[in-house]
Amino acid sequence: MLKFPPGLNEQTVRDLSALKNEPTWLLDMRLEAYHQFLAMPLPDFGPDLDFLDFQNICYFARPVKKTVNSWKKLPKNIRETYDRIGLPEAEKQYLGGVGAQYNSEVVYQNLKTEWDAKGVIFLDTDTAVQKYPELFREYFGKVVASSDNKFAALNTAVWSGGSFIYVPKGVKLTAPLQAYFRINIANLGQFERTLIIADEGAEVHYVEGCTAPIYSTDSLHSAVVEVVAKRGSRVRYTTIQNWSTNVVNLTTQRMLVESNAIGEWIDGNIGSKITMKYPAVVLTGEGARGDILSLAIAKNGQIQDNGGKAVHLAPNTSSTIVSKSVSIDGGICSYRGKIAIGRDAANAKTSTKCDALLMDERSISNTFPNNEIKRADASIAHEASVSRISDEQLFYLMSRGISENEALSMIVNGFVEPIIKNIPLEYAAELNRLIDLDMEGSVG
């Protein structure tokens, strides 16, 4: 395995770009972003990140020499990892294509023949730079600029891996594409870059899964996701994040939604030590719609700082944000959202609903909404609630022969049902299973 020593400087960026044989324009972009990263402060909101030591992180680890399209061609230890989570079997049964990233690079990539024949592109992002340079350069960094925030700058400087998807005009994928991201060494930074373009009238559903084993030191996951939903298209991006509790997850996700297109984020966050992630829809065309469904579960020692952003820039646009959070055994969940309605967004409509469930007196829930409204004709709704599981609810279920842990799981699963019902059956079952595991030992 090729692995960079810990530490970040300009030479690290140059070495990474040279290793990938990138064009000069991309190296220049990386170097500019690196200097932006140095100049930018840490976020002045949310969890304290002062403990992050950027010089103690490994910025690149290559597990295999090249990406393969057969599970059998992977090294045994990597193949066994994906067998345990059932990814090869899922690909056979209901996926249109799969990418699997292990540490810093994609090790497996495959797209079913029927979609390949229709012109769909589904590659790891590194390969896309080489095979489709003009298409890649047209969109890369246009949705999320390196100057957006400190971690977008860091990602742009040292990104490696991720998914590149292009769906041609009128092509509607009837099966999801999935990528699975795995951190498998300590002190690693994983910085994938995902770029999705759905051309006019196209449809695609992309599913992202994330895990890591527990180490004694922290790892950093700092991804950037850029999505372009062109006129009349529909893009759904689903995340099921179950990082171990030593991973700091700081991700920027944004989608441009053009006229009469639909952009959807379904964001499930269960793992990590700290997560800061606010999927955004930017509604740039008349009649565009954006929907964000966010689920966060935090146990003791976890901070989930999640939410969503909707920016209305055109007439007759609409957006919804639904956020559900569960805090257990001293866990901290915060909803952080933003609604912006610009001067040109006549008749814009938006609604936000935030519901928090506290499992005990030690747990914490926060809500930080931010509205910037520049139209008098905008329709805006915001609703928030915080509740606790009552003794009466538990007693009722337990009187029917249900154990206390099972009763807690039932109540929590009912609470998050509005999120779960929008996830494909196979992933909903996985998410319910993860929730059940989180409920174990939470009694009292």
| pLDDT surpasses 70 at 214 | no
- Amino acid 213: pLDDT: 60
Q: How far is CA 64 from CA 73, 82, 126, in A?
A: 10, 15, 14
| pLDDT surpasses 50 at 11 | yes
Mean pLDDT of the chain: 87
The closest alpha carbon to 359, from 398, 394, 392, 389, belongs to: 389
Rounded-to-integer distance, Cα 435 and Cα 442, Å = 11
- Amino acid 256: pLDDT: 98
DSSP string, 107-160: EEEEE-HHHHTTT-EEEEHHHHHHH-HHHHHHHTTTSS-TTS-HHHHHHHHH--
Predicted structure pTM score: 0.90
Rounded-to-integer distance, Cα 79 and Cα 65, Å = 15
pLDDT digits (tens, 9 = 90+) for 162-176: 999 999 999 999 888
Identify the residue with better confidence: 370 or 425: 370
- Amino acid 215: pLDDT: 58
444 pLDDT tier (thresholds 50, 70, 90):
very low
pLDDT digits (tens, 9 = 90+) for 218-227: 789 999 999 9
Rounded-to-integer distance, Cα 255 and Cα 251, Å = 14
Which span out of 267-281, 393-407, 424-438 was modeled with the highest average pLDDT?
267-281
The closest alpha carbon to 94, from 382, 427, 371, 323, belongs to: 427
Cα diameter, the chain: 69
pLDDT digits (tens, 9 = 90+) for 108-159: 777 788 888 999 999 999 999 999 999 999 999 999 999 999 999 999 999 9
- Amino acid 278: pLDDT: 97
pLDDT digits (tens, 9 = 90+) for 389-403: 766 777 767 777 777
